[in-house]
Amino acid sequence: MIEVEHLTKYFGSTLAVDDISFRVEKGEILGFLGPNGAGKTTTMRILTCFLAASKGTARVAGYDVFEDSLEVRKRIGYLPENPPVYSDMTVQFYLDFNARIKGIDPKDRKRRVEEVMERCAIRDVKDTIIGKLSRGYKQRVGLAQALIHDPEVLILDEPTIGLDPRQIIEVRKLIKGLAGEHTIILSTHILPEVSMTCQRVVIINKGRIAAVDTPENLTTKLRGSERLFIEVEGPADEVSRKIREMPEVIGVTVETGRNGGRNAFLVDSKVEVDIRAQLASKIVGSGFGLLEMRPVGMSLEEIFLQLTTEERTE
Amino acid sequence: MRNMLAIFQKEMRSYFISPIAYVLAAVFLVISGYFFYGIVVSFSNQSLYYVQYSSRYGMQMPPLNLNEQVIRGIFGLMSFISLFMIPMLTMRLYAEEKRSGTIELLMTSPLTTVQTLLGKFLACFVLYVLIIALTVIFMVILEIYGSPEWGPIISSYIGTLLMGAAFISVGIFASSLTENQIVAVVISFGALLMFWVIGSAVIFTGPGAGRVFSYLSIIEHIVDFHKGVIDTKDAVFYLSFTGFFLFLTYRTVESRSWR
Ligand SMILES: Nc1ncnc2c1ncn2[C@@H]1O[C@H](COP(=O)(O)OP(=O)(O)OP(=O)(O)O)[C@@H](O)[C@H]1O
Ligand SMILES: [Mg+2]
């Protein structure tokens, strides 16, 4: 449904998107994950024909976003990063305006507006001026706008930002419910959101794709190490130097400097080797006091950080 | 067509729910009304003087012309007020969409840049027509108390609207260049002022270049309309001027996707 090939975007001399390629199948929900400035919004803006790529191609439903921009735009519902609302319109008028510019048949307009208001839970504010709505309500109005013409493809840039916890759950449910008949790309910084809603994740950093996989695979496959948390009485650099001497250890991270010469560390070691006994004797044998030791599971957050942070302790 | 109408109605609505249209219309009416009053009073004083003069000395005076003095004065003034008013009507059109990010909605919806642009242009133009139409009251007053020639009045209205369209196209173009409405006003006012005074450049350029400058002058072409002459050359000037600036606007808006 969506095919992106070697997409590259320069803003002047800054490279915002660097040669990315991926595909999204019909009915799939793809999560776009990356830190600030990764290029998520830029990629989405290219897909929605707002920006032109510097190099590469993107096709939506078989239409090139550059050559057949109008055909692509007919099929896309887009929620930009900031909800594109007119603050002097009422919610109902705004949605009606959207229905008109998105080519909905005049006789269906009223019904469609009612439907999306119901779906996005904004009926109770339908006569309110949008400028007076809270951020979360504006976000929901923005989402309603993207859904109004029942598009084949939905592109949602951080759809749950600014919503309260209950609404976040509602919106995620809504998005999941849309999958199947709609193809969805959503971007987010929130990792649990990805594992909850998306079938596949593209992790993007500094304009490049760092990984593409299902959330489950990412958690297991990328778990290239076992991790231990230890708290030791002793100077941080010396302790970590000693620990690093062990061949099974991949990396050591100083977690926090604690009072009274205590330090906490995260020790990553090779998979399927239990180094706890050895590590304990190493620390004690080097003359430090071992205060605590426990294994920690690696969360999606950490995988994300590993993939997107450069200064890794390796 | 339907898309253009949607944009047109959105802009119209936005003009009428914000105070700006009313304030500008009121200011326009007050200023032109005041001057209308002033011009009429001075004209009637003059007529009185004429009457006394001719009865005292028994001389035949050349007839006074209501059209020349009152009507030309009023329309000249309307052009001048438009110079200030139109930048304020156009400043919002693109700048505000850019500032608030709604341009992203328009450009990712299935409507073309031309539809958006024409919708916006027409909304502003219709509002201008409505404001200018308020001055018909003055003409009616003249009709009741005097006998103006309607030919020049009608041609002056046509000229004023054509000139207004040209002003609006410059204003929209300025608005498409920036996301700051104040900057848009300054640019469009500056540009219009330049086209207003450019005819005077003939003072220091040679007559050859002077002809070009005076052709480009945006007020040079309204003179004949005020005299009751509708010259196609003048109409073509205003229309092509408008078309040119709308084209520039189109290019500017489209070029956003090339950056
Ligand atoms: N219009 C623009 N002009 C110049 N540079 C831009 C423009 N838009 C984005 N950039 C740059 O491109 C890079 C990618 O930005 P982008 O907005 O795509 O990131 P993002 O992944 O959406 O980040 P965030 O999570 O903060 O929304 C950034 O370095 C940004 O500074
Ligand atoms: Mg973004």
Provide the percentage of residues in chain A whose pLDDT is more than 70.
Answer: 89
Mean model confidence pLDDT for chain A: 85
Q: Which two tokens stand for residue B95?
A: 């700048």
Residue among A9, A13, A14, A54 whose CB has most ligand 1 atoms within 8 A, to mutate: A14
Neighbours of B57 (CB within 10 A): 9
Residue ranges per domain, chain A?
Answer: 2-220, 223-295
Strand partners, A211: A203
For range B244-256, the mean pLDDT = 91
pLDDT at B209 over 80: no
pLDDT at B248 over 90: yes
The beta-carbon neighbor of B108 closest among A76, A86, A87 is: A76
Strand partners, A172: none
Kind of pairing between the strands at A200-205 and A29-33: parallel
Residue A38 C-alpha to ligand 1 middle, in angstroms? 7
- Domain coverage including residue B11: 2-257
For range A74-90, the mean pLDDT = 93
pLDDT at A60 over 70: yes
Residue A285, classified by CB atoms within 10 Å of its CB into exposed (0-12), middle (13-18) or buried (19+), is exposed
Residue A311, pLDDT score: 43
Residue A42, pLDDT score: 93
Per-residue confidence band for A76, with pLDDT thresholds at 50, 70 and 90: very high
Residue B158, pLDDT score: 92
| CA atoms of A220 and B125, how far apart (whole Å) | 64
Residue among A15, A18, A40 whose CB has most ligand 1 atoms within 8 A, to mutate: A40
For range A237-248, the mean pLDDT = 84
Per-residue confidence band for A308, with pLDDT thresholds at 50, 70 and 90: low
Mean model confidence pLDDT for chain B: 86
Cβ contact (<8 Å) for A100 and B101?
A: no
Cβ contact (<8 Å) for A73 and B112?
A: no
**B3–A contact, CB cutoff 8 A:** yes
**A285–B contact, CB cutoff 8 A:** no
Task: For residue A237, give how far its alpha carbon lies from the nearest alpha carbon of chain B (Å).
Answer: 49
List the single residue in A with minimal CA-CA distance to B105.
A84
Length of chain B: 259
Residue B170, pLDDT score: 96
**B5 contact partners, CB below 8 Å, separation of at least 6:** B119
Residue B115, pLDDT score: 94
For range B3-28, the mean pLDDT = 91
For residue B241, what is the enclosing H or E element? Answer: helix B232-255
pLDDT at A312 over 60: no
Among A81-95, A219-233, B165-179, the range scoring the smallest mean pLDDT is: A219-233
Residue A234, pLDDT score: 83
Provide the percentage of residues in chain B whose pLDDT is more than 90.
Answer: 45
Cβ contact (<8 Å) for B102 and A85?
A: yes
Cβ contact (<8 Å) for B109 and A102?
A: yes
pLDDT at A310 over 60: no
**B99–A contact, CB cutoff 8 A:** no
The beta-carbon neighbor of A84 closest among B18, B105, B112 is: B105
Sheet with A249-257, side-by-side order of all strands: A249-257, A262-270, A225-233, A289-296
Q: ipTM score of the complex? A: 0.85
What are the start-end ranges of the E strands in A62-125?
Answer: 63-64, 76-79
pLDDT at A302 over 70: no
Question: What tens digit of pLDDT does each residue of B234-247 get?
Answer: 899 999 999 999 99
Q: How many distinct structural domains can be found in chain B?
A: 1
The architecture that CATH gives domain A2-220 is 3-Layer(aba) Sandwich (3.40)
Residue A20, pLDDT score: 92
Question: What tens digit of pLDDT does each residue of B75-131 get?
Answer: 888 888 999 999 999 999 999 999 999 999 999 999 999 999 999 999 999 999 999
pLDDT at A299 over 70: no
- Ligand 1 atom at shortest distance from the alpha carbon of A81: 27
Per-residue confidence band for B58, with pLDDT thresholds at 50, 70 and 90: low
pLDDT at A166 over 80: yes
Provide the percentage of residues in chain B whose pLDDT is more than 70.
Answer: 94
- From chain A, the residues in CB contact with B109 under 8 A are 73, 98, 101-102
- Ligand 1 atom at shortest distance from the alpha carbon of A42: 18
pLDDT at A89 over 90: yes
pLDDT at B172 over 70: yes
A4 and A66 Cβ atoms separated by less than 8 Å = no
Residue B62, pLDDT score: 62
pLDDT at A79 over 90: yes
What are the start-end ranges of the E strands in chain A?
Answer: 2-11, 14-24, 29-33, 55-60, 63-64, 76-79, 153-157, 183-188, 200-205, 208-213, 225-233, 249-257, 262-270, 289-296
Residue A220, pLDDT score: 60
Residue A160 C-alpha to ligand 2 middle, in angstroms? 13
pLDDT at A314 over 50: no
Asked if residue A34 has its Cβ within 6 Å of ligand 1, the reply is yes
The beta-carbon neighbor of B102 closest among A50, A86, A103 is: A86
Residue among A7, A9, A11 whose CB has most ligand 1 atoms within 8 A, to mutate: A11
**B102–A contact, CB cutoff 8 A:** yes
Among A171-175, A263-267, B131-135, B200-204, the range scoring the smallest mean pLDDT is: B200-204
pLDDT at A11 over 80: yes
CATH of domain A223-295: 3.30.70.3100
